[in-house]
């Protein structure tokens, strides 16, 4: 759990003995202690790090990008990816063959007696080795040139992989908002998170076909971005959706270098260190202090003097019903959208929610800010017997009716015996386990209502079978 810092544990590593009761027993020199934590980004004290070897197996953004690039190319240009694998194998074979030739030559030279020039067979062998080595070197040169051409063709698709990698780390950081936002904990052999990998492939397949390579790349990037947005949004509380959407837009724009990272950092942190009395009656002390802090940035030099000197114009803008839709006064209207957000946060922080929606709509498109209703049928299609559905319900919401309607449409009803609904409570765990066992064998649906159950340790074992389960709940009994 990441809390392993006990000095008693360190004796296993620092000394050659372990203590059993009141006895000290030496241990074998081959003894190794390996500890594993499920924490995504654990932090340990320096003294602990100095006494151990820490290994971080977490995938990095660049590492994931490289893996996703191979995935993109294997889908879009399978011929290139196949040829790259063949070339890689050939290059390894060439290295092995050259090593064998060198070893064989050294062995013959070391075994030669007298002058090796008098050994006709050895001289012939040397000549043959020289010719073979030259041929291999020529093949290696050709392979490197082919590899260069292949890599150049593969690089065309790197923006797609880079976008997908960026989006994964955006959704991966959502757990900082709420611990319940855990995405893609299961990993594939390739270390690409399974759920994200499935979403990535589905978005690639559903993207519109375009003959032009650059056009196709743009379509793929947009398809992946929107697919990740839809998939992630359905798992978020309403209050957190705009935060996710804004962060996604900010990170995409940072990658494009369309916004200044220092300006974004200021917008998010908005550090106001000093308080100043407001010289204008339409701004509070808090707002004026924020303006003074903004004026310290290079792009906003003199804004405090301009607000004070052109108070009438700034009052009109600041007191308008929707200032986020109005142009800033005078030369300030030329400021970028991110700079306008900074000024708005200083003077009208109450309009930031609307301003952020407008910002996202302007930069990513209207479809990202449109309100969409959960499509249960589509969610069902994205699930599998090994991927249960977990409904976190707000007060007064009942997902059971929607599940019954969908089940009836697909042939899963209580009358047919293929729809099992269990309200967990005292003594109902056994009933639920029996329903899970029966459903896993018959391909039925199991709905477990766990609103009053806070602990069920055997669920993970019972869920190992091939069953589909929907878990409508307002509490999470599994954490």
pLDDT tens, position by position, 7-61? 555 555 555 666 777 887 777 777 777 888 877 677 888 888 887 888 887 788 8
**What per-residue confidence (pLDDT) applies to 471?**
47
Burial class (CB in 10 A: 0-12, 13-18, 19+), 278: middle
- pLDDT tier at 118, thresholds 50, 70, 90: low
Q: Which fold has domain 384-473?
A: Rossmann fold (3.40.50)
**What per-residue confidence (pLDDT) applies to 280?**
95
The owner of tokens 């900074």 is 342
First to last CA, the chain: 13
Lowest-pLDDT range, 421-430, 455-464, 469-478?
Answer: 469-478
The encoded tokens of residue 449 equal 């209502």
Express each pLDDT in 248-278 by its tens digit.
Answer: 999 999 999 999 999 999 999 999 999 999 9
Lowest-pLDDT range, 151-160, 181-190, 290-299?
Answer: 181-190
Size of the chain in residues = 479
Indicate if the pLDDT at residue 429 is higher than 60: yes
User: Quick check: 61 and 166 in contact, CB under 8 A?
Assistant: yes
**What per-residue confidence (pLDDT) applies to 153?**
82
Domains 159-258 and 384-473 share a fold: no
Average pLDDT over residues 360-383: 88
Indicate if the pLDDT at residue 149 is higher than 50: yes
Lowest-pLDDT range, 169-173, 186-190, 282-286, 400-404?
Answer: 186-190
**From CA 53, how far away is CA 58, in angstroms rounded?**
16
- pLDDT tier at 323, thresholds 50, 70, 90: very high
Say yes or no: domain 159-258 is CATH 3.20.20.70. no
User: Quick check: 327 and 313 in contact, CB under 8 A?
Assistant: no
The encoded tokens of residue 424 equal 């967990």
Question: Any alpha helices (H) in 30-77, and if so which ranges?
Answer: 46-51, 61-76
| Highest mean pLDDT, choosing among 125-129, 367-371, 430-434, 463-467 | 367-371
**What per-residue confidence (pLDDT) applies to 5?**
52
**From CA 187, how far away is CA 193, in angstroms rounded?**
4
Q: What is the pTM of this model?
A: 0.75
* % of residues, the chain, pLDDT over 70: 86
**What per-residue confidence (pLDDT) applies to 472?**
52
> Which SS3 state, helix, strand or coil, does residue 474 take?
coil
**What per-residue confidence (pLDDT) applies to 264?**
96
Residue-range domain boundaries for the chain: 7-51, 78-156, 159-258, 270-368, 384-473
Lowest-pLDDT range, 117-121, 302-306, 410-414?
Answer: 117-121
What mean pLDDT, rounded, does the chain reach? 82
Please calculate the CA angle 432-436-440 and round it to the nearest 5 degrees: 170
**What per-residue confidence (pLDDT) applies to 13?**
52
Average pLDDT over residues 215-238: 89
- pLDDT tier at 390, thresholds 50, 70, 90: confident
Lowest-pLDDT range, 190-199, 223-232, 388-397?
Answer: 190-199
**What per-residue confidence (pLDDT) applies to 184?**
59
Indicate if the pLDDT at residue 312 is higher than 50: yes
Average pLDDT over residues 129-141: 81
Lowest-pLDDT range, 240-249, 283-292, 447-456?
Answer: 447-456
**What per-residue confidence (pLDDT) applies to 460?**
63
**From CA 1, how far away is CA 37, in angstroms rounded?**
5
**From CA 315, how far away is CA 293, in angstroms rounded?**
19
Q: Report residue 19: phi and psi, to 5°.
A: -105, 120
**What per-residue confidence (pLDDT) applies to 192?**
42
């Amino acid at each position: 759990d990441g809390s392993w810092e006990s000095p008693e544990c360190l004796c296993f590593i620092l000394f050659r003995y372990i203590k059993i009761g009141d006895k000290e027993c030496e241990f074998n020199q081959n003894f190794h202690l390996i500890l594993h934590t499920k924490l995504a980004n654990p932090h340990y004290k320096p003294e602990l790090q100095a006494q151990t070897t820490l290994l971080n197996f977490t995938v990095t953004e660049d590492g994931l990008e490289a893996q996703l690039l191979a995935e993109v190319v294997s889908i879009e240009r399978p011929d290139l990816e196949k040829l790259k694998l063949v070339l890689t194998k050939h290059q390894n074979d060439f290295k092995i063959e050259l090593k064998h030739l060198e070893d064989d030559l050294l062995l013959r030279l070391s075994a030669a007696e007298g002058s090796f020039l008098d050994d006709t067979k050895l001289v012939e062998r040397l000549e043959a080795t020289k010719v073979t080595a030259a041929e291999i070197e020529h093949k290696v040169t050709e392979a490197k040139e082919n590899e260069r051409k292949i890599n150049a063709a593969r690089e065309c698709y790197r923006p797609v992989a880079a976008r997908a990698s960026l989006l994964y780390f955006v959704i991966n950081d959502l757990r900082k908002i709420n611990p319940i936002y855990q995405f893609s904990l299961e990993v594939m052999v390739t270390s690409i998170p399974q759920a994200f990998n499935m979403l990535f492939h589905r978005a690639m397949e559903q993207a519109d076909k375009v003959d032009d390579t650059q056009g196709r790349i743009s379509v793929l990037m947009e398809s992946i971005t929107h697919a990740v947005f839809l998939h992630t949004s359905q798992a978020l509380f309403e209050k957190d959706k705009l935060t996710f959407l804004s962060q996604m837009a900010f990170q995409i724009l940072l990658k494009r270098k369309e916004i200044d990272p220092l300006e974004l950092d200021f917008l998010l942190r908005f550090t106001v260190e000093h308080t100043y009395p407001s010289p204008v009656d339409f701004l509070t002390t808090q707002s004026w202090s924020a303006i003074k802090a903004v004026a310290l940035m290079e792009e906003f030099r003199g804004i405090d003097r301009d607000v004070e000197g052109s108070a009438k114009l700034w009052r009109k803008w600041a007191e308008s019903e929707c200032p986020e839709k109005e142009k800033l006064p005078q030369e300030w209207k030329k400021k970028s959208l991110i700079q306008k957000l900074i000024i708005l946060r200083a003077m009208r922080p109450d309009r930031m929610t609307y301003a952020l929606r407008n910002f996202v709509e302007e930069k990513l498109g209207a479809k990202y800010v449109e309100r969409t209703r959960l499509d249960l049928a589509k969610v069902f299609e994205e699930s599998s017997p090994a991927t249960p559905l977990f409904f976190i319900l707000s007060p007064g919401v009942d997902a059971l009716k929607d599940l019954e309607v969908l089940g009836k449409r697909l042939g899963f009803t209580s009358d047919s015996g293929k729809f099992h609904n269990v309200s967990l409570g005292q003594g109902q765990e056994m009933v639920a386990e029996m329903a899970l066992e029966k459903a896993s064998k018959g391909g039925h649906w199991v709905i477990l209502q766990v609103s009053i159950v806070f602990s069920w340790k055997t669920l993970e074992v019972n869920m190992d079978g091939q069953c589909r389960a929907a878990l409508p709940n307002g509490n999470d009994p599994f954490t």
